[in-house]
Structures are given as C-alpha cells and as structure tokens.
Amino acid sequence: MSNIYQEALEAHKRWQGKLSVTAKAPVSNKEELSLAYSPGVAEPCREIQKDKEKMYDYTWKGNSVAVVTDGSAVLGLGNIGPEAALPVMEGKAVLFNQFGGINLEDISAPRCVEIERRLIEALDIPVFHDDQHGTAIVTVAALINALKLTGKKKEDIKVVVSGAGAAGSSIVKLLRDFGVTRIYVFNSRGILSQAKSAGYNFLQKEIAALSNPDNLDTDMAGAMVGADVFIGVSLGGLVTQEMVRSMNDLPIIFAMANPEPEIGYHEALEAGAAVVGTGRSDFPNQINNVLAFPGIFKGALSARAKKITDEMKLAAAEGIASIVSDEELAFDYVIPSAFNEKVAAVVADAVAKRVR
C-alpha cells in the first residue's frame, strides 16, 4: 500500500470512528436538568404540537443529516456491503457537519433512482442522492465556465457521455435542463437509443428518450467525431488521444472515472483538449461532489424546503460556477477548489432562492 493508504488505515484505527455525539445542553445540576429534560422540555413539545414548523426552532431538525447506504456501489470499490461502506459514510457525515436531510450514498443504479423517488414521494423532507445529483451539479458548473472560455454555446454543442448509471443519468437530465439537446450516451453495451429500448430498464429508457436525437447507431469513437464535450463517469482508459483529436476545435474533456480517468489529464491536453477536468485532487479542475451537497442541504433547510427540485439543482450549478470570476477564469481553473470557503454559502443562497 502507498503511504496515504497506510496512514489512513492507521488513522482510522486510532479514531475508531470519525464521529462523536456531543451534548449541547449541560446537565451538571438540577436546574440544567430541568431545562434540558423534565419538566422544562414539555414547553417546546407543546409549542411544536401547535405548529409543527417550530421543530426547526426547538430541535435539531434543521441541522441533522441521515446518510444512508446499502454499500452496493462504493467509490471505486463496487459492491462491498454496508459494513465495509461505513468508513465512507462517516467521512461524508464529517463533510456535512451541520447541514440536514436524508442523503443516499453509494447505492447502485437503477435501484438508487427508484429508492430516491419513492422516498421523495413518501416524505416531506429533502432527499438527495449525492452520487447522482452532486456529480451532475458540479459537472454542469464546470461546463458553464468551460463554455465561457471556449466561446461555445450550450444550444449548439454536441456532448458524448460515457456511463449510463446513477451519475450518467442525472448528468443527462441536468444537461437537458441547462439547455443542451445534442447528447449521446454510452454504456457497456454501446450507444443508447429509443430504437434499442425494448430490452432497457426504466432508467435506460428515460436516458434514451432524452438523448441521441437522430437515433445514431455508432461506437463511442464514431460519436466523438465532431463532438465538443466528453463527459466520462464510467471506466478508466476508454478514450484515446485519436478520439480527442477527432473532436471539434477547443474540446472539453471531463473524465471522472476514479482512480483512473477515461483519459489522463496530460494525455488529453497533448491531444488538443482545451479544458480538462477529472475526479482527482492531484490535477486542476477537480469535479468534486463536496462542492454541491453541503450548500444544497443548507439552502434547502434554511428555506424549509420539502424536496430538492431540478430548479434547485441547476441553481446550485450556477452558484458554483459564479464563484470563479471572469478575471480568475482559465483553462486550468473552471471550477472552485473543494476548500474554497465561499462555496457552501453561495450555493445555499442560490438554492434557497429557488425554493417554492
């Protein structure tokens, strides 16, 4: 194992869990006990009984998160089960820190989509599958700025997407909401199209209805000819330099497979790519979900939203993109850093304004 893996293993053993539960209310004497519990606790209970919205005033309703997984699609590790996924869930909870709702995590497609939709229908609190929508939001944010740099218009571009699972499906839907219409999507069996949809699951049928407008039947190399944007959420090494060279001038490459992207950062640049983003922190333009989900939940809960809508997702993408000013915008800087302290507040404000 490399040093980082060994150090992380030792740190996790030392921590024995990255989270702890700390009481805000002191109970060191009778008076404090009476305030935090009986008899004083009866009064906030009565107030909430009269107006359920007062949960946000008197409880942790507005700043708590449930992170839920079945461990069926964890990072680059696959179906490792919920027990083995727990270190990832703890890490996500650390990132959330003080924002709330239900976040679905590392659940395989199409099951994750069905679970999310059923929860949204059944519950009156925000439900969000980060692997789907977080990836899509940050991808569109990066695309907004990449289009500014290259002078391309969203209405005119041709986009090829590799990967039709949780992230790929959400990317396609958000691209359509953003105004992109020429999208071609590939999974392990090839290009998705309505002509082939008889054997598709419900999610693949939805993607086919939103993509491949001219019903092309081609391989990914063929689809890349004349394309303006490649978005990868699939497997490493699928894209060659020849495929990049066949694209339109100033191509945009977001190769997000981890740990190995569909094409390496430097290989894509050498082949003529104008803007290259990956999911890795050791290259510029990291497309990282952490840019999206804390602010999404903060904004939704501050506005007391019952659900997270497509409009709110697009607002989050626009908010993230806006953090990179025109003066700062560069081919190696189209998306803010995950450590930029402005991100959560800007995203929260943008999302809250779209709550109906």
- The pLDDT profile of the chain, 356 residues, written as one tens digit per residue, is 458 888 988 988 898 888 787 888 888 898 988 888 888 889 988 999 999 889 888 888 777 777 778 888 776 678 889 889 888 888 777 766 644 655 666 677 777 777 877 877 877 777 777 777 889 999 999 999 999 999 999 999 999 999 998 889 999 999 999 999 999 999 999 999 999 888 898 889 999 999 999 999 999 999 999 999 999 999 999 999 999 999 999 999 999 998 899 999 999 999 999 999 999 888 999 998 889 888 888 888 888 888 888 999 999 999 999 999 999 999 999 999 988 989 989 999 999 998 87
Tokens of 93: 């909870």
Asked whether residue 47 is marked as a ligand-binding residue, the answer is no
Provide the domain limits for residue 300. Answer: 130-356
Q: 42 and 117, same structural domain?
A: yes
Q: 295 and 239, same structural domain?
A: yes
Q: 135 and 273, same structural domain?
A: yes
Q: 315 and 337, same structural domain?
A: yes
The pLDDT value recorded for residue 23 is: 84
Q: 148 and 60, same structural domain?
A: no
Final residue belonging to a domain, choices 129, 149, 179: 129
Asked whether residue 121 is marked as a ligand-binding residue, the answer is no
Q: 32 and 151, same structural domain?
A: no
Query: Residue 138: enclosing H or E segment and its boundaries?
Result: helix 135-150
Q: 248 and 177, same structural domain?
A: yes
The distance between the two most distant Cα atoms of the chain, rounded to a whole number of Å, is 76
Query: Residue 348: enclosing H or E segment and its boundaries?
Result: helix 343-352
Tokens of 37: 């519990």
DSSP state of 132: I
C-alpha neighbours within 13 Å on the C-beta side of residue 175: 33
The pLDDT value recorded for residue 76 is: 64
Question: Considering the domain boundaries, does residue 12 fall inside one?
Answer: no
Asked whether residue 260 is marked as a ligand-binding residue, the answer is no
CATH number at residue 100: 3.40.50.10380
Alpha-carbon 275 to chain mean position: 20
Final residue belonging to a domain, choices 129, 148, 177: 129
Asked whether residue 106 is marked as a ligand-binding residue, the answer is yes
Asked whether residue 51 is marked as a ligand-binding residue, the answer is no
**What's the CA gap between 55 and 151, in Å, rounded?**
48
Catalytic residues: 37, 92
Q: 221 and 198, same structural domain?
A: yes
Question: Considering the domain boundaries, does residue 3 fall inside one?
Answer: no
Q: 317 and 296, same structural domain?
A: yes
The pLDDT value recorded for residue 96 is: 66
The pLDDT value recorded for residue 1 is: 44
**What's the CA gap between 144 and 256, in Å, rounded?**
17
Question: Considering the domain boundaries, does residue 4 fall inside one?
Answer: no
Q: 330 and 225, same structural domain?
A: yes
**What's the CA gap between 279 and 277, in Å, rounded?**
7
Beta strands per DSSP E along the chain: 65-68, 101-104, 127-129, 158-162, 182-187, 190-191, 229-232, 252-255, 275-278
Final residue belonging to a domain, choices 73, 98, 129: 129
Number of domains in the chain: 2
The pLDDT value recorded for residue 346 is: 95
SS (H, E, C) 194-230: HHHHHHCCHHHHHHHHHCCCCCCCCCHHHHHCCCCEE
